[in-house]
Amino acid sequence: MSKMAEPKIFVVIPAYNEEKTLAKVISELKSSGYCNIVLVDDGSQDNTSLIGLKNSIYTLRHLVNLGQGAALRTGILFALSQGADIIITFDADGQHQVSDIPKLVKPILQAGVDVSLGSRFCKGAVVENIPFSRRLFLKLGIIFTRIISGIKVTDTHNGLRALSRKAAQKINISLNGMAHASEILDEISKHKLSYVEVPVKIRYTEQSLKKGQSTLNAFKIATRVIIKKLLDW
């Protein structure tokens, strides 16, 4: 990607029952000047959509809960249709920091990188309140992804990332659930997209820990990724 004078940055927030934290996340994004915010309410039973509408941001709603992967796909497709140059994926539970966005955008704008991946484990990253079990499963996820995709990253399941328009057009998220994070890395490898890891700060909140992945889910994710890989093969 060539250097852009004024890139259109879109922030895509997939959300499922996030009324407690969403308003604060949107407010922080807006106060930092990000006005192209796309909220994808993934069939929430609470007032998630209403918060998006009240805050005058792009609000899309899935009639039924499909999963974070599907919500991201919808959000990315919408952002592309609105002419986005760079798409940021940002969690609604408040664990990501708005101050990390410029760090993710910089390699795309200045070095023409296709994808910037946020990492909580590379040098310079900060992780607050991460439970031991979560850290262990994330580390196992890294080994798993290295075997499956052959891509060497320090954090495979970080929802904070920036995609150039080219990358967003090429990456096809077909897995609806949380397995999309591994799938994105697989797509990066498949399409030979350039990527960098950027150290980010992750703050685990009560909400993010409550909605986190269980051990059983980790196995489900691994199974889905393996099945998809076999079907593609």
Q: How many residues bind other proteins (CB under 8 A)?
A: 29
Contact 49, 24 (CB under 8 A): no
Residue of the chain from 12, 13, 21, 52 that contacts other proteins (CB under 8 A): 52
Give least dist CB 152 to other proteins, A: 31
Provide the token pair at 124. Answer: 């310079």
Least Å from the CB of residue 41 to other proteins? 9
Structure tokens at 214: 């269980």
Given the rule CB under 8 A, which of 74-82, 113-121, 141-149, 204-212 is the region that contacts other proteins?
A: 74-82
**Which part of the chain contacts other proteins (CB under 8 A), choosing from 53-61, 148-156, 197-205, 214-222?**
53-61
- Token pair recorded at residue 207: 């909400």
Q: How far is the CB of 31 from other proteins (least distance, A)?
A: 11
Choices 60-68, 126-134, 148-156, 160-168; region in contact with other proteins by CB under 8 A: 60-68
| Measured CA distances, 77 to 37, 112, 169 (Å) | 13, 21, 8
Q: How far is the CB of 179 from other proteins (least distance, A)?
A: 13
Q: Which stretch binds other proteins (CB under 8 A): 48-56, 151-159, 196-204, 210-218?
A: 48-56
Burial group, residue 92, by CB count within 10 angstroms (0-12, 13-18, 19+): buried
Residue 81 binds other proteins (CB under 8 A): yes
Q: How far is the CB of 3 from other proteins (least distance, A)?
A: 16
DSSP state of 13: E
Among 26, 51, 60, 117, binds other proteins (CB under 8 A): 60
17 φ/ψ sector (left φ>0, alpha ψ -120 to 50, else beta) = left
For other proteins, what does the binding mask look like between residues 8 and 47, x meaning CB under 8 A? xx----------------------xxxxx---x-------
Q: Which amino acid, 43?
A: G
Distance CA 49, CA 18 (A): 9
195 scored as a contact of other proteins (CB under 8 A) = no
CA distance 121 to 113: 21
CA atoms within 13 A on the CB side of 122: 14
- C-alpha to C-alpha distance for 207 and 93, rounded to whole angstroms: 6
Rounded Cα gap, residues 165 and 9, in angstroms: 10
Pick between residue 106 and residue 134 the one whose CB is nearest to other proteins.
106
Give residues in contact with other proteins (CB under 8 A): 6, 8-9, 32-36, 40, 52-53, 56-64, 66, 70, 73-74, 77-78, 81, 174, 176
